[in-house]
């Protein structure tokens, strides 16, 4: 299988290296296109009418890899349109931190998947809660198992957003849950850095979510899987508006 792997944490992040190597270990042809530095929170932004630098670089396992100065969506777009390869699937991640609930609106990792959908490709987006506490090799193995489990059900109509709890070596998640998105909101705190310069930080807000949503199930150590659509039309409202 030919696999394009992108991320938003940067070409040298532990997650993308672990994911690419587990794919290579299982006999797949892997190509990596990732930002030259961290682009977390860039969502589906794309670089128009501005220069973007692309460099072929050395990567773990001698995998063909390119570093790009643009956004995560740029990486997917470039890989799918310019490398003259027929990819079977596009994978985003493994993201440093969760992409649960409302976070998908800000996520470059999820945008990789939805950009692939826009271009007619199947995709999945992988994230890990408490990334720094996790055994990334183990998390990568779980992500690969999710790819094997769901590949036949993938479609360019949606991307599968997968969140994995932090796993020690040999540890297994409690199970897999197909789940809707919950609400994951943070306090918006603009910390003063120096005159005219601030930094956005914040803490999670305790939200009254249903027990069967991704935000709550990840806390119980389930792997959560949510299909994400590019089409953001509110169809129920559309029908109401047509009645006016």
The predicted-structure confidence for 161-177, as pLDDT tens digits, reads as follows 999 998 877 788 999 99
Q: How far is CA 100 from the centre of its chain?
A: 10
Residue with tokens 């973007």: 52
Residue with tokens 């849950």: 177
The 10s digit of each residue's pLDDT in 68-99 is 999 999 999 999 999 999 999 999 999 999 99
In this structure, of 17-31, 71-85, 178-192, the range with the lowest mean pLDDT score is 178-192
| CATH of the structural domain 2-181+210-242, one choice from 1.10.3720.10, 3.40.50.1000, 3.40.1210.10, 1.10.287.130 | 3.40.1210.10
Residue 56, number of CB atoms within 10 A of its CB? 9
Mean pLDDT of the 8-22 span: 96
How much of the chain exceeds pLDDT 70, in percent?
99
Report the pLDDT value the prediction gives residue 32, as an integer from 0 to 100: 98
Cis amide bond preceding 86, omega within 30: no
Cα separation of 123 and 140, whole Å? 16
With H, G, I as helix, E, B as strand and everything else as coil, classify residue 68: strand
CB 35 within 8 A of CB 67: yes
Residue 201 pLDDT grade (very low, low, confident, very high; cuts 50, 70, 90): confident
More confident of the two residues 207 and 18: 18
Pairing of strands 222-229, 158-164: antiparallel
Closest alpha carbon to 73 in 163, 127, 20, 8: 8
Closest alpha carbon to 224 in 116, 103, 114, 112: 103
* Residues sharing a CB contact under 8 Å with residue 148, sequence separation 6 or more, in sequence order: none
pTM of the model: 0.94
CA angle 218, 223, 226 (to 5 degrees): 90
| C-alpha Rg value of the chain to the nearest Å | 18
More confident of the two residues 242 and 88: 88
Q: Residue 244 pLDDT > 70, yes or no?
A: no
Q: What is the mean pLDDT of the chain?
A: 94
Report the pLDDT value the prediction gives residue 166, as an integer from 0 to 100: 84
In this structure, of 16-20, 42-46, 169-173, 229-233, the range with the lowest mean pLDDT score is 169-173
Report the pLDDT value the prediction gives residue 203, as an integer from 0 to 100: 81
* Residues sharing a CB contact under 8 Å with residue 118, sequence separation 6 or more, in sequence order: 230
Residue extents of the structural domains in the chain: 2-181+210-242
How much of the chain exceeds pLDDT 90, in percent?
80
């Amino acid at each position: 299988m030919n696999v394009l792997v992108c991320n938003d944490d940067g070409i040298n992040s532990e997650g993308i290296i672990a994911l690419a190597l587990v794919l290579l270990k299982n006999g797949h042809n892997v190509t990596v296109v990732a930002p030259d530095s961290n682009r977390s929170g860039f969502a589906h932004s794309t670089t128009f009418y501005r220069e973007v630098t692309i460099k072929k670089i050395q990567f773990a396992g001698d995998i063909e890899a390119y570093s790009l100065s643009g956004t995560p969506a740029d990486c997917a777009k470039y890989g799918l349109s310019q490398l003259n390869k027929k990819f079977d699937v596009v994978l985003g991640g493994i993201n440093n931190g969760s992409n649960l609930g409302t976070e998908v609106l800000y996520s470059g990792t999820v945008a990789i998947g939805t950009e692939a959908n826009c271009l007619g490709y199947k995709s999945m987006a992988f994230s890990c809660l408490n990334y720094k506490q996790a055994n990334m090799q183990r998390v990568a193995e779980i992500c690969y198992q999710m790819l094997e489990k769901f590949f036949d059900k993938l479609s360019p109509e949606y991307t599968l957003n997968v969140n994995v709890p932090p796993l020690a070596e040999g540890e297994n998640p409690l199970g897999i849950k197909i789940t809707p998105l919950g609400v994951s909101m943070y306090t918006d705190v603009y910390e003063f850095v120096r005159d005219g310069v601030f930094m956005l930080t914040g803490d999670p807000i305790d939200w009254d979510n249903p027990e069967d949503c991704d935000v709550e199930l990840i806390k119980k150590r389930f792997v959560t899987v949510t299909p994400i659509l590019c089409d953001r039309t509110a169809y129920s409202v559309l029908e109401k508006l047509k009645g006016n």
